[in-house]
Amino acid sequence: MSGYLFAVALTAIVLAMLFVLMRTRRIREKYAAVWIALALAVIVLGIFPRLAFWVAALVGVETPANLLFALAFVVLLLVCIQLSVEVSGLEEETRTLAEEIALLRYDVDKVVERPRAHAPEPEAGGTDPAP
């Protein structure tokens, strides 16, 4: 089996896994879209390997493998930045929700404490009066 055929087969398996993950709602479409686009690009390069040589010559890179590694680095960097933005947003949302829960808990405690504060004190005899 040639390396190109192996890359195409492996990428087809990754694509199938991505669609299964989307169907089971373990990955959202906006995250899967990037990986699907990358998988399709790998399939195209696996089917047409001369395309990598042409693009490398077009941008002035001597070896297509160097171009692929540089592109892979850029893609992974962009994915890391996107995930950092998502985590930051979720962190802010979690902080806001925690503050709202604390305020609601404070309001509930005030409402629950108010009737107890106005309840009559037990008599000095130590026994509660019979109803």
Q: How confident is the model at residue 31 (pLDDT cuts 50, 70, 90)?
A: confident
Is residue 47's pLDDT more than 80?
yes
Mean pLDDT (whole number) for 43-52? 91
What integer pLDDT is reported at residue 124 of this predicted model?
A: 60
61 SS3 class: coil
Domain that holds residue 12: 1-48
Between residues 117 and 48, the one the model is more confident about: 48
Residue 44 sits in the same domain as residue 71 = no
**By the 8 A CB rule, do 7 and 38 touch?**
no
Structure tokens at 95: 């902080």
Residues 6+ apart with CB under 8 A from 61: 67, 70
Is residue 91's pLDDT more than 80?
yes
Residue 73, domain member (yes or no): yes
Residue 124, domain member (yes or no): no
How many CB atoms are closer than 10 A to CB 50? 9
Residue 7 sits in the same domain as residue 44 = yes
Distance of alpha carbon 17 from the chain centroid: 17
Residue 29 sits in the same domain as residue 67 = no
Residue 94, domain member (yes or no): yes
Please give the tally of structural domains in the chain: 2
What integer pLDDT is reported at residue 59 of this predicted model?
A: 95
